């Protein structure tokens, strides 16, 4: 990765980045920004020795990826991806573990939303491809609402090889597919699960689908054919959570 600084925008995202100890170089606050969350950010920044500059709102508008900075932007060092082997090692031997893999999802907002659901569900990590896929940037940080400050993300050159690595680590690989025979409450979504989700409109690529141990679908009863990929990931991840909270 290059050494060019990146930005996190939005109150929750910046606050959680401070709490998680992210490598923040400075924080820019709009002169009109106020409220409890801004006070939290200022206190956390002071505790960590992070410089805070008060600037006109238009200075933030010019840096904002989507114009939703909420009066605060943090300048950070480039995002550091976590090796897949490290993510697997952290959860080695645990009877229950969830890792989410993204099969060529190119919208950074979807990546951030998926990261948010995965982190809240207690996932061990997220895996994205190096090519033809969104990476972790300002938009992903914003839509993750701070989750990317806690959830490790691996960037792999080959998703099929990543799947094989997870199988060797005793993960069962579940592919989300509208074509699946098994609905989510009938599929074995428990234990050590690697959940693979594909791009909207395309689904899983052929080789990735063939690499899965089983496919799972979310039943729909309304007129709209399906959920978007971030919503679908949340539903499937929390079915995994539900299985772990059931009484024996």
pLDDT of 145-174, one tens digit each?
Answer: 888 889 999 999 999 999 999 999 999 999
Q: What is the pLDDT of residue 31?
A: 87
The pLDDT of residue 68 is above 80: no
In this structure, are residues 195 and 98 in contact, taking their beta carbons and an 8 Å threshold? yes
pTM confidence score: 0.81
Closest CA to 75 of 57, 51, 104: 51
Q: For 6-76, which CATH superfamily applies?
A: Ribosomal protein L30/S12 (3.30.1330.30)
The pLDDT of residue 58 is above 60: yes
Write down the domain spans for the chain. 6-76, 84-245
User: Rounded to whole angstroms, what are the CA distances from 31 to 59, 155, 229?
Assistant: 10, 38, 37
Q: What is the pLDDT of residue 178?
A: 87
pLDDT one-digit tens code per residue, 44-56: 999 989 999 999 9
Q: What is the pLDDT of residue 6?
A: 80
Topology, domain 84-245: Alpha/beta knot (3.40.1280)
pLDDT one-digit tens code per residue, 219-247: 988 766 678 899 999 999 999 999 988 74
Residue 26 phi, psi (nearest 5): -165, 160
């Amino acid at each position: 990765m290059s050494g060019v600084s990146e930005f996190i925008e939005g109150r929750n995202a910046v606050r959680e980045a401070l709490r998680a100890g992210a490598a923040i170089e400075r924080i820019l606050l709009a002169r009109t920004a106020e409220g409890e969350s801004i006070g939290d950010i200022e206190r956390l920044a002071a505790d960590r020795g992070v410089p805070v500059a008060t600037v006109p709102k238009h200075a933030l508008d010019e840096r904002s990826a989507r114009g939703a900075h909420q009066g605060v932007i943090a300048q950070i060092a480039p995002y550091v991806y976590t090796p897949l082997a490290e993510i697997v090692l952290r959860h080695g031997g645990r009877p229950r573990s969830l890792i989410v893999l993204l099969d060529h999802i190119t919208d950074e907002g979807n990546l951030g939303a998926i990261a948010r659901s995965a982190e809240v569900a207690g996932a061990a990590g997220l895996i994205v491809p190096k090519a033809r896929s969104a990476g972790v940037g300002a938009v992903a940080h914003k839509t993750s609402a701070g989750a990317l400050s806690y959830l490790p993300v691996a960037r792999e050159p080959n998703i099929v090889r990543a799947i094989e690595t997870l199988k060797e680590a005793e993960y069962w690989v579940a592919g989300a597919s509208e074509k699946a025979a098994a609905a989510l409450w009938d599929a074995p979504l428990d234990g050590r699960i690697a959940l693979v989700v594909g791009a909207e409109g395309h689904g899983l690529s052929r080789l990735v689908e063939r690499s899965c141990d089983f496919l799972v679908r979310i039943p729909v009863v309304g007129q709209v054919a399906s959920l978007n990929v971030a919503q679908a990931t949340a539903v499937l991840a929390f079915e995994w959570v539900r299985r772990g909270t059931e009484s024996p």
